[in-house]
Structure 1
Amino acid sequence: MNPAAGPELRDIHLPATPDWWPPAPGWWLLALALLVALAFGVRACWRFERRRRWRARVRAELERIADAHARSADAQQLSIALSNLLRRASRLLAPHAAALHGEAWLDFLDAKLPKSEADAAPFRRGAGRALLDAPYRRSDDPAAAVDAGALIALVRRWLAHVLRAEDAHA
């Protein structure tokens, strides 16, 4: 008979395998950081798309105005429509632009042109001057004559430069 060498010992007891849920605090932080990054990404995409649609609407409105003028050749309506378009576009770029009028309005428009073109002041001294007085003159007044092609081209250049500059800031 063999006496027992000692107390009965049990085999090694391993701990239970860790569950996958709930995750460790580091995983929670990573998930939170990913959600925040996703929210910022979605917001940036939404703002970019909104700006892109706005720029497309502005360009389409200019083309609609040019087409309407080609059909009717009314200089007074052209200057009114272009002035309204420029005011709406500039108000979104610089909120104080809505309050400008007269020479200050033309100076603002000239200042937004590229430096090489702004020195010539095409709004103050050129075709853009029609935006000030043409809307208020009678259609049969010879002083109300507007160089429609030059005015539309000037507005087109202004919008192209401003919208391109707005793209760079976005």
Structure 2
Amino acid sequence: MNESLLAQLAPAHAPPPAGWWPPAPGWWLLLVVVLGLLTALLAWWRHPSRRLRRAALAELRALDGAGLDDAALARQLESLTRRYAVARFGRDRVARLSGAAWLDFVVAHGGAAWKDEAGRQLLCAAYGGQAEGDRAAWFGGARGFVRKGRPA
């Protein structure tokens, strides 16, 4: 080869570094997947049944610290569980239940602490009786029903 032609060539240099924009297709795919997961998580979190459960549990926490007497507490707990049941299971299924049928419904859907004497004491205190009750069992049954109660 001719040396004079080689001398006329420009000196060798490295190509310019790769820029950060536009990202490679893998980064676009990752962005789409992350946005999809965030959207699904937000939809799951804001689902009406979860919002209802969170509101009922917050009301239970407020009742736990309210310092009510047994009769007032029993009325509030029974009212809260009934409102939750109507909203969660529907008026047609829940509104006609009373007494033992209501307690059986609550027990069957997670409120196991209301199974025996505690549930009867709660209803007796809620509807005018002077029954002393196990407040821990009352709250346990209400919490269990709110946390586990789901329509079949």
Class of the TM-score when normalised by the shorter of the 2 chains: 0.5 to 0.7
Match of 2:111 in 1: 113
Bigger CA drift: 25-34 or 101-110?
101-110
Letter in 1 for 2:121: A
Q: Deviations over 1:125-153 (max 9, x none)?
A: x3244278x3xxxxxxxxx4330x31745
Which residue is equivalent to 1:156? 139
Between the two proteins, what is the percent identity of the paired residues? 26
Instruction: Evaluate the alpha carbon distance shift between residue 95 and residue 121 of structure 1 in structure 2; reply closer, same or farther with a 3 A threshold.
Output: farther
Give deviations 1:81-115, integer Å, cap 9, x for gaps. 3331221233455446643422432321232333x
Deviation at 1:28, TM superposition (A): 1.0
Q: What are the equivalent positions in structure 2 for 1:126-137 lying under 5 Å apart? A: 126-130=120-124, 134=127
Summarize the Cα distance change of 1:165–1:13 in structure 2 as closer, same or farther, 3 Å threshold.
same
- Matched residue SS, 2:57: helix
Give 2:78's aligned residue. Answer: 83
1:30 maps to: 30
CA distance in 1 between partners of 2:123 and 2:45 (Å):
39
Distance 1:55 1:78 in 2: 15
Larger radius of gyration: 1
Q: Give the TM-score of the pair, scaled to structure 2.
A: 0.58
Contact between 2:114 and 2:141, CA under 8 Å: does it hold in 1?
A: no
CA RMSD of aligned residues (A): 4.2
Aligned residue type for 1:57: E
Choose the corresponding residue for 2:129, options 138, 145, 154.
Answer: 145
- Note the residue ranges of structure 2 that are not aligned, 5 or more in a row: none
Higher RCO (Cα < 8 Å, 6 or more apart): 2
Segments of structure 1 that go 5 or more residues without pairing to the other structure are 135-143
C-alpha separation in 2, matches of 1:7 and 1:40 = 68
CA distance in 2, matches of 1:101, 1:21: 64
How many angstroms apart in 2 are the aligned matches of 1:117 and 1:145? 17
Q: Structure 2 CA distance, aligned partners of 1:63 and 1:5? A: 97
Give matches, 1:14-93, under 5 Å.
15-41=15-41, 54-64=56-66, 67=68, 69=69, 75=71, 80-91=75-86
Q: Deviations over 1:29-68 (max 9, x none)?
A: 1222233334445666777x9655641322313553x52x
